[in-house]
Amino acid sequence: MASNDTATPPHAAGSMEVPLKTSLAPPEYNGSSGGGGFKKHALLDVLLRVLLFATSLIGIIVMVTSEQTKRIPVAPGISVTRTAKFSNSPAYINFVATLSVAGLYSIITGLVSGLALMKPGGISTKLQFHFVMLDALLLGIVAASTGAAGGVGYIGLKGNSHSRWNKICHTYGSYCFHFASSILLSLISSITLLLLVWLSIYVLSKKIARR
């Protein structure tokens, strides 16, 4: 019975199509041919990487240009000039370094993803596997850095009476506005990385469901 069946390849191809059409996975999820579903997700991947690049670049620029100088009165008739800048706090130096890494990473992976989009075969499963590993690692790093900057920024905004840490944002308004914008952009970067991880896992699981 087995030899009878293997002698009829058109029948075998027909039997393979039946579960594909009944399953939820679209048949265009084929690594060897660029169909609609594959192209759509690859394009979304590239767009998310461009968004990651844009948010990290703008985040760095906003943070680096946050310098603000104020004259602060210390006694009647006497005032000192104090400059608030991001490099005063280790949390913000780390923040800028992390966003730089995220920006650089997004350029490299965005270009590779873009080039893979051009090719008819699309991005290989192995490359996608390495990308999602690195995406997850970067997600952890960027999220931790955003959290640290946010935690320090919150003390700057609200102060902490228990530790006698005074708030500084009422004095350095523009400085704090820059910080808040930069942290928000970094948060968008983190969310973009999470979406990239989710997208890759979705595409990988679709490839399994297509079996």
User: Would you count residue 47 as binding a copy of itself (CB under 8 A)?
Assistant: no
Of 113 and 186, the one with the shorter C-beta distance to a copy of itself is 186
User: Would you count residue 8 as binding a copy of itself (CB under 8 A)?
Assistant: yes
- For a copy of itself (CB under 8 A), the number of binding residues is 60
Of the residues 35, 36, 121, 140, which one makes contact with a copy of itself according to CB under 8 A? 140
CA distance 105 to 134: 9
Closest separation between CB of residue 104 and a copy of itself, Å?
A: 20
Of 108 and 144, the one with the shorter C-beta distance to a copy of itself is 144
Of the residues 44, 54, 58, 91, which one makes contact with a copy of itself according to CB under 8 A? 91
Closest separation between CB of residue 177 and a copy of itself, Å?
A: 17
Amino acid found at 31: G
Tokens of 131: 């990308």
Of 17 and 47, the one with the shorter C-beta distance to a copy of itself is 17
Give residues in contact with a copy of itself (CB under 8 A): 1-2, 5-6, 8, 11-12, 14-15, 18, 84, 88-91, 125-126, 129, 132-133, 136-137, 139-141, 143-152, 154-156, 158, 160, 162-166, 168, 190, 193-194, 197-198, 200-202, 204-205, 207-209, 211
